[in-house]
Amino acid sequence: MREIFCAEMIKAFAKKPFVFLTGDLGFKALEPLREVMKDHFINAGIAEQNMVSTAAGIAKTGLSVFCYSISPFIYARPFEQIRNDICLHNLPVTLIGNGGGYGYGVMGATHHALEDYGSLLCLQNMHAFIPAFDFDIGAMISRISDLNKPAFLRLGLAQKTAEISYAKWRKVLDGDLGVLIVTGSIASNLLYDFQSEEAGGRPTIWVLGELPLFDDFPQELAQEISNKKLCVLEEHVAQGGIGQMIAAKILAKNIALKSFLHLHAQGYISGFYGSQNFHRQESQLTKEAVISAFKLN
């Protein structure tokens, strides 16, 4: 997603100037943006706490700011600066975390982001944008710009698929197996994998792109899951994940389900490390695991 992200940021900068801070990352990806933005593109160095406080200070003077790093370095390391300096003041600073979930694969656990949007959404005024497809990025940057509030953009590596217009809630596939709600780039992989299955062997897939959930649970989705099997899948730990958020909405709306399943990141079960796919398989975040969950429950 990084190349597309860079191209979309160049377009956004042409519409309305902003400041871009990077924590010394972006090699072979953000150079074109740096060229265009000139003095508005600043390498803030390997100093994420200061980068976030500085972003808040800049935003206070009237400019919106984007802060970029590998995901855990932008949401976990400077958490108090995000909480106090950005969120308490409701400032238009967007944190861009590259490598959502197990995105950095065999680079190791320190580079994974399994609790990013869950922890950030505990903070006042924070919004999370979780693209599933490359073509979501442009729409999300537009929405972030209009929102003008604290935001988190979780970048990942998406499977190429046919373009589908962006919406916070989208139905991307029909099927008879049950209903699957998924967020993040893993949605693109599951869509790709299930597309070739017959209707009876695939679920209806809904993709969720933004958090928190407000009073915007789609009526169509509510009807579809009524008395059906629902599976929620995310590359994020269960605590603070969309599984818990959606379960709370379903309870509040008194929707009766046949069953509720939640597939989520489970950390490092075997104690071994590997690619993003290795960790997804260990956590049962695969097409096969979804089919099996629907059949067993």
Partner 1 sequence: MIFPELQKQARLRLLKMHFEAKVGHIGGNLSSLDAILYLHHNIMQKEDHFILSKGHAAGALYIALWSVGKISDEQLLTFHKDQTKLAGHPVPNWIAEIPFATGSLGHGLGLACGMSLGNKLQKKEGRIFCLMSDGEWQEGSNFEALVFLNHQQLKNVTVIIDCNGLQGFGTTEEIASLNLKKLHEIFAVFNFESPLSLRDTETRHESRPALRGSPPRISMGNTGFEITEINGHEEADLKKLSRASNRPQIFLMKTIKGHGISFMKNQMQWHYLPLNDELYNKAKKEIENL
The residues binding partner 1 (CB under 8 A) are: 19, 39-40, 42, 44-45, 47, 49-50, 52-63, 80-81, 84-85, 88-90
Q: Tell me whether residue 56 or residue 182 sits nearer to partner 1 (CB atom).
A: 56
In sequence order, what are the residues at sequence separation of 6 or more whose Cβ sits closer than 8 angstroms to the Cβ of residue 2? Answer: 26, 29, 30, 98, 155
- The tokens for 46 are 């390997």
Considering only CA atoms, which of 146, 38, 23 is closest in space to residue 92? 146
Who's near 129: CB < 8 A, 6+ residues apart? 140, 143, 144, 151, 152, 153, 154, 209, 210
Nearer to partner 1, 58 or 144 (CB): 58
Q: Which is nearer to partner 1, 41 or 194 (CB)?
A: 41
Cβ nearer to partner 1, comparing 42 with 255: 42
Which of 60, 295 has the CB closer to partner 1? Answer: 60
Sequence-separated (6 or more) residues with CB below 8 Å from residue 169: 206, 207, 208, 209, 216, 217, 218, 221
Least separation in angstroms between CB 296 and partner 1: 48
Let me know: does 131 contact 209? Beta carbons within 8 Å. yes
DSSP per residue, 95-139: EEEES-BTTTGGG-GGG-BSSHHHHHTTSTT-EEE--SSTTHHHH
Query: Are 192 and 245 within 8 A, CB to CB?
Result: no
Q: How far is the CB of 152 from partner 1 (least distance, A)?
A: 19
Q: How far is the CB of 75 from partner 1 (least distance, A)?
A: 16
CA distance 216 to 22: 34
In terms of CB distance, is 57 or 267 closer to partner 1? 57
Least separation in angstroms between residue 119's CB and partner 1 is 17
| Least distance (Å) between residue 241 CB and partner 1 | 28
Minimum Å gap between C-beta 54 and partner 1 is: 4
The CA distance from 218 to 6, in Å, is: 32
Supply the minimum distance, in Å, between the C-beta of residue 104 and partner 1. Answer: 23
Q: Which is nearer to partner 1, 65 or 96 (CB)?
A: 65
Please answer whether residues 100 and 222 qualify as being in contact, where contact means their C-beta atoms are separated by less than 8 angstroms.
no
